[in-house]
Structure 1
Amino acid sequence: MNDAVSCGACCGLYNCAGASREQLRCLLATRTEQFAGVLRSADAIDDFRIRMERREHGERPYIDFYACPFLGFLGPRRLRPGCLLHPLADGNEGIDYRGLSFYGGLACRDYFCPSTRNLPSGHKTIVKTVCADWYLYGLVITEEQLLAAIFAGIETRLGRPLAPAEVAERRPARDALAELFGLKLSWPHRGQDWKGPANYFFNDGLYPRAPIDYGRINAQPSVHDRILRELGSSFASRRELIAAETLIETRIDRVLRALASAAADTGH
């Protein structure tokens, strides 16, 4: 774990066209630099909000998902996304300005995404350990269903829960898991309705993941159906489906081989 890992997904960080690492890094850096010169008053902070919203106006894949302009970089090296209105943020001198945000201070303090409540603590620790920085971490940790399916695929084959320590202590296992999680960024079988890397994780049913039409390609439902669905997959043929299943199996197998090798090295 390091000081570059945090999540700004619930603040709408990824809800923009493209949402590449460099694009979002520049966005957060610009907000941080400009907010540093803002007088800490309600009027000045609201003026900053208006300026940022106008500057960043553009297509939002999820129109019901607000993108907060007060998300910037925090920390001494400005490596970690966080709230520029937080009382511990630079320049706020312990004063909580989050009440000036769109959702208000109560929501900012008390809202937690479904992953926070539903993912086992060990799985959350593993994701933090594996993801090297905020970009992949924020995209992956909010994918509750995807992560549940991935860990189920690994742990079913292991015959036991995956322990955070065996991942933290073994670089090959971390690298293999990073490749597996990286399917979120590099998946080649996305459907035409894919909205980008952002995940709409609110439980209001507005943007459900589309089921895969196996009948159209004369195929049986895949054993990896949940992973395929959460990755936004669509297939024009059985050959494409098989290629997708093989890709998932290959990545899972790399994780298992890395874990087996580590166990052999320690004599377990």
Structure 2
Amino acid sequence: MSQKLRPEILQNRARILLSCPDRPGIVAETASFLYRQGANIVALDQYTTDPAGGLLFMRVEFDLPDLPAQKKALEAGFAEVARRLDMQWEIRYAADRKRIAVFVSTADHALLELLYQWKTGELAGDIVLVISNHETLRPAVEPFGLPYFYIPVTPETKPEAEARQIALLTEYRVDLLVLARYMQILSPEFVRRYPNRIINIHHSFLPAFVGARPYERAYARGVKLIGATAHYVTEELDEGPIIEQDVERVTHRADVATLKKIGRNIERIVLARAVQWHLEDRILTYQNKTIVFY
């Protein structure tokens, strides 16, 4: 579960994310290594694709006294464990709050949910700028003290627009891009710069109704459930690894406007969950899927 941690806890908390061929002893070796360092494990989650010859995925969260002074030794020591067990791994530090850029167009519901959670301290990261292809949401953003950059996009100006966006992301040292109903398709060249670092909210329960106007298409199809999907962005439209989904039941009485109204609430909640899980290092990806340790 997400929780707001005190600064003195944050500075000494870290997480190991790893994957490797499954075999007996991996959890024991990891835990023993951390014990020898003087660490206290506060959460450990694991998943195997197959206990006999599959892949193991694991997230270990731990506290280590005086962690800032021990980072190099910790990483060097675990590198030896990882080498023996053929691990892909990374150590992430809770005090290193990720910096977020939010991309929007004209819809405000997903953006405002993120801004609220950030302003109240619930979001485990920091929104540092908002980029939009419209001026519409500037009055909603500027009271939060955030820079708002208007970058119009047309088919003819798309390369120049993306170059300006990339320059801003570099200037603001952005770690995560959140597409909060940004109604533009990013170029493959742009997406390749940020693998598993762009989260989109799609206003349907994927893989149903990929692409534009999903509520209109859902209405025409007479669906009884509508939903929303948060996923990492890849070069294939709406085909990236799914992080979170939710649905709500509807009836034949719901017109398109009603579907959109219900859908907006689902979208903002689903996107906020996915962003929070990414910020808390709870997501690993594998074969266009995600393993999410809630």
TM-score, normalised to structure 2's length?
Answer: 0.28
More strand by share: 2
Greater RCO (CA < 8 Å, at least 6 residues apart) = 1
Point out the structure with the larger helix share. 1
